[in-house]
Structure 1
Amino acid sequence: MTMLIIIKPSTNKNHKKVCDWLLHECNQRQISTEIIYTTGNFHPDCKKITQRAEYYQRAVVVGGDGTLNLAVNALVGLSCSLALLPLGTGNDFSRGFGCSDKEWRTAVFSQGDVKIDVGQINDRYFVNIAGVGFDAHVVKALQTKPARSSLGYSLAGFKYLLGYKGTHITSDFSGREYAYKNLITVFANHRYFGGGLAIAPKARLNSGYLECYAMPARGLLGNLYSFMRLLLRNHHTMTGLEYQRVTVATINTPNLPIEADGELIGVTPASIQVHPRALRFCVPTCTSIQLEIKKVCS
């Protein structure tokens, strides 16, 4: 096996420990490696990873959801498989598997991989969740702030919710038009976002569609109520919530911020679609998700 290692630089002691472990293991297993350190400049980093991935069988991300999103955009459609050592603040994508650090480490050197779906919003791919509304508002507000823990992110979201006013938007989900005052509209390929909020508990990585949740804005008290229902994971039965599974969608209202995998990636209007089985991913064996995917991919 040959391995391209993608690292987001960090001064965190645990980050260094994991990097040292990975390089030691590669040396012990006589695996040829190359390291790419991300710079924070998305397009140059993405281009470099794509070019170098041609020469490697596996890419390993050492970082969080943002670094994972960068790697996904670089590797979609390529033969190079992708593994993850989750070391971000939110780690929402990895959270959906319910696996330990040890199990993620084992997956890095596994012989097999499975093909998972990838979402696309405009020209940006995402592997977890993309959204327009309050989630993008929080990402935009926090992008220049110091990194936060998952709990810190949720608390910050609660704070920003107090002053958030929804925007009237028009959209099209699978050919059906909608107009509403938006709190959150997300397109989910996996289950969690926002530092641990289970917005899409029914999402599956090999379903061939995205889970769409359009949650209407209801004023301060109504928004707080919606947020609490989301925290308690019983938002599916909320009055006014539009939930459906889509393969294509559009947000027509212009100039609204868009987030994808916790990164601010542009503004609306937006075209959304799913690419079934477009990415080779090393799924830890600890999760039933792998069993579901293997049934489809075998």
Structure 2
Amino acid sequence: MSKEKKYFFIVNPTANNGQALAVWQQLQSFLDAEQIGYSFAVSKSITDVEELARAAAQKEFVVVGVGGDGTLSRIAGALAGTRATLGLIPAGTGNDFARTYQIPADPQAAMQIILAGHTVNLDLGIVNGRYFYNAVGSGLDAAVVADANLTFKKIGGSFGYLLALLRQLIFYRPQRIKITVNDEVHIVKAWLVTVANACYFGSGMKIAPLADPEDGLLDVIVVLDVHRLNFLRLFPRVYRGQHIFHPAVRVWRGTKIAVEAESPLAVQVDGDLFGQTPLSVTMKAAVVQLLVPPQHKTTDSCEE
């Protein structure tokens, strides 16, 4: 891919409490110094992000998102099934999807990956009509996102998320949930249910270490009801992906997932709140061309 390729950047200026704009300004200086042709737009809303991405896809640009997982996920969904190529400049709080492909937070290094031009065919999930590229969660993780947005919104960032997590670890109660994976029904009482396309969520937690966003399957991770102290002992293992070997954790795989709860549970999609259960989740295989590091395999980061 040459420097003459048409690059269109979509910038979310509010990502990471406004830090994404500084990332973009740093990247602009690099693009100008290297005389790389580009155009860009600063988004005003999520709807704006999607409309900008669709318009750029019609022109077959390389569409590059500058923002957090919520922004980049929306861009990926807007490009699904088109001939456009997606590049990522991680500029959010967690940048979890970028971890799966080892795309660095340094904008110049991330741009070098885009310039190299190596692509993979990325799968996307669809939950209740919305595309996602990383993970959908209901239960404890969604309660943490809700608490971070409502109670700790002024603090924001990773620290606000940590405070919300600590609070929910004290007050959250496991819920009775019906999970259908393809045609197999499981009724459980659980702390959380995550449907993952990639392996990380929650700012570096390796929730689904066996997930591969190019294999045409979704991984379902369930943490069953255990005593709170046992859950607290289990929790640190998620950062290494070792929790899946605990007897209270279930891992299933499929292409069609349904999640229902006795009482409606909050839902997070790629780090953003997204209504409540019930959930209908399906897989769309190989629908986006994603720029990734040359020779990279998802197992390099997920199973290390």
Q: TM-score range by the shorter chain?
A: 0.7 to 0.9
Q: 2:12 matched to 1:3?
A: no
- Counterpart of 1:180, as a letter, is V
Instruction: Tell me the residue number matched to 2:298.
Output: 289
Q: 2:44 aligns with which of 18, 35, 39?
A: 39
Give runs of aligned pairs for residues 93-132 of structure 1, distance below 5 A: 93-100=97-104, 101=106, 102-132=108-138
| TM superposition shift of 1:12 | 5.3
2:237 equivalent to 1:229: yes
Report the CA distance between 1:268 and its aligned residue.
Answer: 1.4
Scaled by the length of structure 2, the TM-score of the pair is 0.85
Aligned residues: 290
Structure 2 residue 82 is matched with structure 1 residue 73: no
Give the structure 1 partner of residue 202 of structure 2.
194
Judged with a 3 Å threshold, the aligned counterparts in structure 2 of structure 1 residues 284 and 130 are, in CA distance, closer, same or farther, namely: same
Quote the Cα distance in structure 1 between the aligned partners of 2:51 and 2:44: 12
Which residue type is aligned with residue 195 of structure 2?
F
Task: Give runs of aligned pairs for residues 135-150 of structure 1, distance below 5 A.
Answer: 135-144=141-150, 145-146=153-154, 148-150=156-158
The CA deviation string for residues 154-179 of structure 1, in whole angstroms up to 9 with x for no partner, is 45313321110111111211211111
CA RMSD of aligned residues (A): 2.6
3-state SS in 1 of match to 2:171:
coil
Unaligned runs of 5+ in 1: 292-298
Moved more, 228-237 or 129-138: 228-237
TM-score (norm 1): 0.87
1:186-211 deviation per Cα after TM superposition (whole angstroms, max 9, x unaligned): 11111111111111111112111011
CA distance in 1, matches of 2:299, 2:62: 18
2:273 matches 1:269:
no
Q: Which amino acid aligns with 1:137?
A: A
1:197-276 alignment, distance < 5 Å: 197-253=205-261, 255-276=264-285
Listed as ranges, the gaps of 5+ residues in structure 2 are: none
1:85 maps to which residue?
89
Verify the 8 A CA contact 1:99 1:287 in the aligned structure 2: no
Q: Secondary structure at the match of 1:194?
A: coil
Report the Cα distance in structure 2 between the residues aligned to 1:165 and 1:265, rounded to whole angstroms.
20
2:206 and 2:38 map into 1 onto residues whose CA distance is: 38
1:146, 1:56 → 2: CA distance?
39
After superposition, the Cα gap between the structure-2 partners of 1:38 and 1:217, relative to the gap in structure 1 and judged at 3 Å, is farther
Given candidates 143, 152, 161, the residue that maps to 1:153 is 161
Shift of 1:288: 3.0
| Identical amino acids, percent of aligned pairs | 27
Residue 43 of structure 1 deviates from its aligned partner by 3.2
